[in-house]
């Protein structure tokens, strides 16, 4: 499982992060701080050993870069989904949902070391429900018949795996 750092407080130019217990102290915290210092939009990083915090001084909008740097180290940055801020910037509820699902998928892939992906789990879940319904109820037409669930499994798989370069309205893989 990937390690985790949580955002304790964030302003446009400063972010305080709480470091997981197993990453605190010594070389590991210093390595994280040095890597963050090398990020293009970070101006400085303070290590607070007593509180287990890192304070990053940065340009506005640098949280995405900080998150990417930490992901390269195999560390998840928790607390980065801020729906209120996204809606204030003019993003619609649909794009907020897509960003949240993409973030969940990225975290799932990172924490499973690339073994799990929502683009496989969702169709597999529908396929499993289809098999269960077919075994339990046979070919009867009921509230959620097996053939509907089988169709949903196929349809979601096709829509979540578009041909390369296709501009369909699916959730992009980031």
Please tell me what DSSP assigns to residue 16: E
Question: What interhelical angle do 93-111 and 118-137 show, nearest 10?
Answer: 90
pLDDT tens string 15-27: 888 887 776 766 7
Find, among 21, 76, 80, 24, the residue nearest to 48 by Cα.
24
pLDDT tens string 148-174: 888 888 888 888 877 775 554 545 554
Residue 129, token pair as written in the block: 């429900």
Please compute, for residue 59, the number of CA atoms within 13 A of its CA located in the half-sphere on the CB side: 8
pTM (2 d.p.): 0.46
Q: Please indicate whether residue 24 or residue 63 has the higher confidence score (pLDDT).
A: 63
């Amino acid at each position: 499982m990937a390690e985790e750092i949580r955002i304790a407080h964030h302003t446009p130019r400063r972010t305080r992060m709480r470091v997981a217990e197993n990453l605190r102290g010594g070389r590991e915290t210093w390595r994280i701080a040095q890597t963050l210092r090398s990020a293009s939009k970070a101006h400085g990083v303070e290590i607070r050993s007593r509180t287990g915090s890192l304070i990053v001084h940065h340009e506005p909008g640098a949280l995405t870069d900080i998150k990417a740097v930490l992901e390269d180290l195999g560390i998840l940055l928790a607390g980065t989904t801020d729906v209120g801020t996204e809606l204030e910037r003019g993003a619609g509820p649909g794009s907020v949902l897509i960003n949240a699902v993409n973030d969940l998928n990225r975290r799932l892939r990172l924490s499973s070391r690339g073994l799990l992906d929502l683009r496989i789990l969702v169709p597999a879940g529908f396929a499993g429900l289809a098999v269960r319904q077919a075994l339990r109820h046979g070919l009867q037409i009921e509230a959620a018949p097996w053939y509907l669930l089988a169709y949903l499994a196929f349809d979601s798989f096709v829509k979540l795996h578009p041909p390369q370069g296709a501009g369909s309205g699916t959730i992009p893989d980031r």
